[in-house]
Amino acid sequence: MLPAVNWLRVAHYRRPSFHNREQTPLFQHYTTPQYAGFWIRVLAYIIDSILLAVVSCPLALGLGALEAASNIDPNSPALAFGNLGVNAVSIAAGWLYFGLMESSSWQASVGKRLVGIKVSDLAGNRLTFGRATGRYFGKVLSGMICGIGFIMVAFSEQKQGLHDLIASTLVVFGSGTTEPYLPPPPPKFDDPRPRVVDQSRPWG
């Protein structure tokens, strides 16, 4: 009579060395982001507004001086087009400023950088210029609804405004490009114990 073990197959895994087992952590730690709240973002916006005013104010003052020197009729189409041009330049300056800075390696405008916060996507990655552009023009919508889109930052779980929800972005504490927020994959372990496989089950 054949021994009962003939219908069993014993499969052994490669036994790791003692050194490798010491170097393989059982649990891998990762940190969750610390979301930037409403008031710290207001402070960053004030700083950025001052910097942008350095660009827009000289244009507005130059247009006003030109109007006073040339005695242009306040209701003339030329003056209306001039004001429209100044507004267009201001919008373009803000778009390029925030779009380029928040998609740069800083991941932040100058104001955000000074207060220690940055912008990322939901996984902690650096924004593309296209996503930073969508976020900037999402701010226009946030302001159009009586600023409710900005006030949402104070009450949402991840401190996201409407423009953050539109662009799928987060504003968090930190500077520069860091590792993603997602947890790392689980480590691979070699089981040193033999595994008994039932040959009667082909999927065993």
- Per-residue pLDDT reduced to its tens digit, 19-77: 444 454 555 555 678 899 999 999 999 999 998 888 777 776 776 666 666 666 666 67
Backbone angles phi, psi at 26, to 5 degrees: -70, -40
- Per-residue pLDDT reduced to its tens digit, 126-174: 999 999 999 999 998 998 998 899 999 999 989 999 999 999 999 999 8
Q: Which pLDDT score is estimated for 108?
A: 92
Q: Which pLDDT score is estimated for 78?
A: 65
What pTM, to 2 d.p., does this model score? 0.64
- Per-residue pLDDT reduced to its tens digit, 87-115: 787 888 889 999 999 999 999 999 999 99
The pLDDT of 5-32, averaged and rounded, is 48
Beta bridge partners of 124: none
The 8-class DSSP code of residue 154 comes to G
Handedness of CA 129, 93, 167, 35 (dihedral sign): positive
Q: How confident is the model at residue 197 (pLDDT cuts 50, 70, 90)?
A: low
- The Cα 137–Cα 102 span in angstroms is 13
Backbone angles phi, psi at 83, to 5 degrees: -65, -40
pLDDT at 4 over 90: no
- The Cα 132–Cα 171 span in angstroms is 12
Q: Where is pLDDT greater, at 197 or 56?
A: 56
CA atoms within 13 Å, Cβ hemisphere of 184: 11
**Residue of 92, 86, 96 whose CA lies nearest to 62:** 86
